[in-house]
């Protein structure tokens, strides 16, 4: 072999290292001791069902600036929220296995996992609902300010002075903003109750269909820690 030829091991060493790194990552995921496929199925169902209610509520009380085809909005927003729901379901299952996994009764393990999944996923849905309502409220208040400024520019008469500033009521722009805020607060409150009721029915059904597979690792030879 000539001294000027490049060593052959350099051409093979880096792919082997990348392959080893991938295997280590897969092993770390399997050490969680849960079925990631089942968790993904849970997250997909919960995300798209909860996303339906969020989209419906936004279409009812949301800003006109965000108006678009409801199916397109539901599909996009639910897909964006999917990783958060997957992380929430995974966290709930890991906590349930840590707190209730040693219990010999399958009903206790399933009930503990179900309660935690309902709580976490409902919290994620409420955060999504509140974030959407806050953005709608910002757009609507900006629209109110624009309308008020246009009306003020076309008004030549000055408003009459109030007899008592301390007892002045909220009127005009203030009243419109307060009414809009109250509407969104009621919408988020009722929407949160709907999400909780939906998840209370949906999660036990998923647990009944999935059974104990949510506790089992994807690798049949890999035992949970």
Contacts 24+ apart (CB under 8 A), 130-136: 130/188, 132/54, 132/57, 132/58, 132/62, 133/58, 133/61, 133/184, 133/187, 133/188, 134/184, 135/63, 135/66, 136/58, 136/61, 136/62, 136/63, 136/66, 136/184
Per-residue pLDDT at 24 exceeds 70: no
Total-model pTM: 0.73
Per-residue pLDDT at 68 exceeds 70: yes
| pLDDT band with cut points at 50, 70 and 90 for residue 168 | low
Rg (CA), the chain: 27
How many residues in the chain? 225
Q: Which residue has the higher pLDDT, 49 or 207?
A: 49
CB atoms within 10 A of CB 108: 14
Q: Which residue has the higher pLDDT, 27 or 143?
A: 143
Structural tokens at position 166: 């301390």
Per-residue pLDDT at 213 exceeds 90: no
């Amino acid at each position: 072999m000539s001294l000027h030829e490049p060593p052959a091991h350099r051409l093979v060493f880096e792919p082997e290292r990348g392959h080893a790194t991938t295997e280590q990552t897969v092993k770390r995921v399997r050490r969680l001791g849960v079925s990631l496929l089942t968790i993904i199925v849970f997250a997909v169902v919960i995300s798209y069902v909860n996303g339906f209610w969020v989209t419906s509520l936004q279409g009812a009380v949301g800003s006109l600036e965000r108006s678009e085809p409801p199916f397109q909005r539901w599909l996009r927003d639910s897909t964006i929220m999917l990783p958060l729901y997957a992380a929430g379901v995974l966290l709930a299952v890991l906590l349930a296995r840590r707190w209730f996994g040693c219990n010999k009764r399958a009903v206790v393990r399933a009930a503990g996992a179900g309660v935690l999944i309902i709580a976490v996923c409902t919290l994620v849905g409420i955060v999504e609902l509140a974030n959407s309502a806050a953005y709608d409220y910002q757009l609507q208040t900006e629209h109110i300010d624009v309308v008020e400024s246009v009306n003020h520019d076309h008004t030549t008469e000055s408003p009459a002075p109030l007899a008592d500033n301390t007892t002045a009521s909220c009127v005009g722009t203030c009243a419109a903003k307060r009414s809009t805020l109250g509407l969104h607060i009621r919408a988020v409150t009722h929407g949160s109750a709907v999400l909780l009721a939906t998840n209370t029915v949906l999660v036990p059904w998923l647990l009944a269909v999935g059974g104990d597979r949510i506790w089992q690792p994807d690798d049949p030879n890999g035992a949970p820690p």
